[in-house]
Chains A and B, each alone.
Chain A
Amino acid sequence: MIYEPSVSAAVIFFVFVGITLGISFWLGRKATDAKGYFAAHGQIPWFVNGVAFAGDYLSAASFLGICGMIAFYGYDGFLYSIGYLAGWIVALFVIAEPMKRLGKFTFADALDAKFQSPGIKLAAGISTLAVSVFYLIPQMVGAGVLVQPLLGFPHWAGVVIVGVTVIMIVVTAGMVSTTWVQFIKGTLLVIFSAILTVMILNRGFSVATDEQTGLQTIAFPDGVPEGWTRFVDEEDKWPNFIRFKDESSRIRVFTQYDQDTDQGRKTWLLEAQYTSTDKDGTVFVNGEPKGKEKGEPELHPVGHIRKLPGGADKTGPLGPLSFFSTLLESEVVLWGSEKINESDDKTTTVYFQKPTPGSQVLRPGEHPKFKGIRGKDFIGKLNFLSLMLALFCGTASLPHILIRYYTVKDAAAARKSTIVGIGSIGFFYVLTLYMGLGAMTSGGMDVTNSNMAAPLLARSMSELLFAAISAIAFTTVLGTVSGLILASAGAVTHDLMSSFFKIEMDDHQKVRVAKLSSVVVGAIAIGLGILFEGMNVSYLVGWAFSVAASANLPSLIMILFWKGVTKQGVITAVVVGMVSSLGWILCSADSMEKIFGMTASDALVPFGQPGIVTIPLGFITLVVVSLLTKKPEPAVVA
């Protein structure tokens, strides 16, 4: 698709970022000591902290990734919503109050409260860094994705803008400004998502005509226009498609679709879209050189309904429940893609229509990553269980969420803010299903990029809403990234520098070290964000959750509930959980393909999501090592 940068969008966007930075500078004057910088003096009101939880947690992955996944595959994306929210139950019921009681600045404090061991600080500090950096990747990728259509900048520019802005927020005022940025962002995200949902319901569904989609539907064989000839090359590399040369000699590609109707079986040809790049790098779209401006050849925006219940053309406004019952009986066009190597230096990607019954769109197991649950193969089922387990356990182990327990005054406030957090996050997740399905049927999707679904849905409503949603999505990235960078900076300053290397620092030096490490972590995040362009951000976040849950959860839980834990047990469990889950991810089929450029069959592990193996492994390690090292000599030094 060609994205036309819009002036109103750019203006709203910069106003947003400007205000956010302004608040940050203004509030930052107060935070000069360590307690203020890392924990906002523990003075954040619980309600604000609760909404800030939502702002912290509802990252680019939630907003862009989940909506995109629902828009392209249906219900499966919503499984992430359910898992992400369920994780908060672990956080509230099990972790929240002990965390608040035991710690001061970082979650390593809580782990270490009983042992005072520099080794635990080191392990927990490194795991905080690993999880945060991992979690930063999808956020930065999301930022790049957003800036492209909004301002017309390339992906890397988006990543750099976010990186630099966030570094400025974190460096100026630490936790105080970060909290307020997250509060503003959380509020806006929930409110605007609700507005968008109401608009979706008001618009209802309508069947798209060929004029609207820009794609031809032909009754086969009688409806083929005169002057068109079948086009077949000698070695047929297009076995799944039917191709014609039209009256202007342009190659048109179709897929065949058979449908049983009251009048017997009917065959339709549905037009596909294709892009190819030849050896001198010219990009062709549907057989013509790709244009640069609106109106010139480009891929048509997609996402439409083919049939509504009772053969209606449109439904009119729908209720929150009839929205689903109507869709369940409709037929939606999803899109598949296939790569065809036409010659050594010419590859073509074909995007083709897949008419899908609504009942199939709204059931689990349609996304390639979730297909396993419909198969007979147990490995596919395990992969799914593993992901759902990691989502459940991951939230309560995310360092940037855990540090938010130190910004309120007591355990009661920590609890209340978690409840507010669950309320706003849960409400937002309910809306993701409406937004995703609304996007699926909006006629405005970019067939090449699922991460853009939510902003493009807004654009199908109005340009102004598009600007607002994009700006919010962008501050979404800012809020989450600030939290992550702050968590990393806290880990470096408290856990590594002052606890492990025993560097004596006064408050001002601590804050300076934290600011310096924020810059470094920010720079690393910028680099990784550019490197990982093009992966669905939700899937990447699934990995971050796995690492967090494997490394941190076993120790957090066991320290709370088992008296026999030893410091060696904690250290080994954190290290083993972190290394095994990271290692598993790097050896998985997805990494082989998308990072190392090898084929999926080179994978060393049977499925992609490590959680179901590495989380229990963390627990077992902790118990075994603790038993082995029980009652150590009092004089032993770690």
Chain B
Amino acid sequence: MQTRNSRMGLVLFAVYLVLYGGFVLINTFSPETMEATPIAGINVAILYGFGLIIAAFVMALLYGVLCDSNDEPGSSKEDDQ
């Protein structure tokens, strides 16, 4: 039942978990880091926050593209009830 799709999902999930976990931990234990303004006068809090939202969408698209080209027939066959 663990198809290639699921494995890829888990890898992408792990990547996002690291990104999100990093954000939450910096907020919790080093909130002052979030106040730095490294780019265009905008602080880390906003850059990282927007980054997380955009990363979610990009990774979702990536997953969609990779899945479709790989085991599409498998997943719809298993779907028959």
Contacts and interface: CB of A to CB of B under 8 A. Distances in A.
Contacts of A388: 24, 27
A194 to B, nearest CB: 15
Interface in B24-68: 24, 27-29, 31, 34-35, 37, 40-43, 45-46, 49-50, 52-54, 56-57, 59-61, 63-64, 67-68
A359 B20 CA distance: 23
Interface in A344-398: 359, 362-365, 373-374, 381, 384-385, 388-389, 392
A167 interface: no
Given A82-B53, A89-B16, A411-B75, A94 B43 contact: no
A136 interface: no
A89 B56 contact: yes
A362 B43 contact: yes
A93 interface: yes
Contact of B37 (A75, A85, A328, A384): A328
Contacts of B45: 75, 362-364
A433 interface: yes
Interface residues of A, number: 49
Contact of A82 (B35, B41, B49, B60): B49
Interface of A: 75, 78-79, 81-82, 85-86, 88-90, 92-94, 97-98, 100-101, 104, 321, 324-325, 328-329, 359, 362-365, 373-374, 381, 384-385, 388-389, 392, 410-412, 415-416, 418-419, 422-423, 426, 429-430, 433
A81 B45 CA distance: 13
Interface residues of B, number: 44
B53 A85 contact: yes
Contacts of B64: 415-416, 419
B76 to A, nearest CB: 4
B42 A101 contact: no
B29 to A, nearest CB: 7
Contact of B76 (A389, A410, A418, A426): A410
B76 A412 contact: yes
Contacts of B42: 321, 324-325, 328
Determine the main DSSP class of B at the interface with A.
helix
Given A82-B49, A373-B27, A418 B37 contact: no
Contacts of B79: 100-101, 410-411
Given A86-B20, A325-B40, A419-B61, A362 B56 contact: no
Interface of B: 1, 5-6, 9-10, 12-13, 16, 20, 23-24, 27-29, 31, 34-35, 37, 40-43, 45-46, 49-50, 52-54, 56-57, 59-61, 63-64, 67-68, 72, 75-76, 78-79, 81
Contacts, number: 134
A422 B13 contact: no
A374 B63 contact: no
Contact of B24 (A359, A385, A418, A426): A385
Given A364-B31, A416-B64, 16 more contacts: A75-B46, A89-B12, A92-B60, A93-B12, A94-B9, A97-B9, A97-B75, A104-B81, A324-B41, A325-B40, A328-B43, A374-B31, A384-B24, A385-B28, A411-B76, A422-B56
A82 B52 contact: yes
Given A93-B63, A419-B61, A373 B72 contact: no
Contacts of B49: 78-79, 81-82, 433
A418 B28 CA distance: 30
A359 B27 contact: no
A422 B60 contact: yes
Contacts of A85: 52-53, 56
Nearest to B61: A419
Contacts of B29: 381
Contacts of A416: 64
Nearest to A382: B28
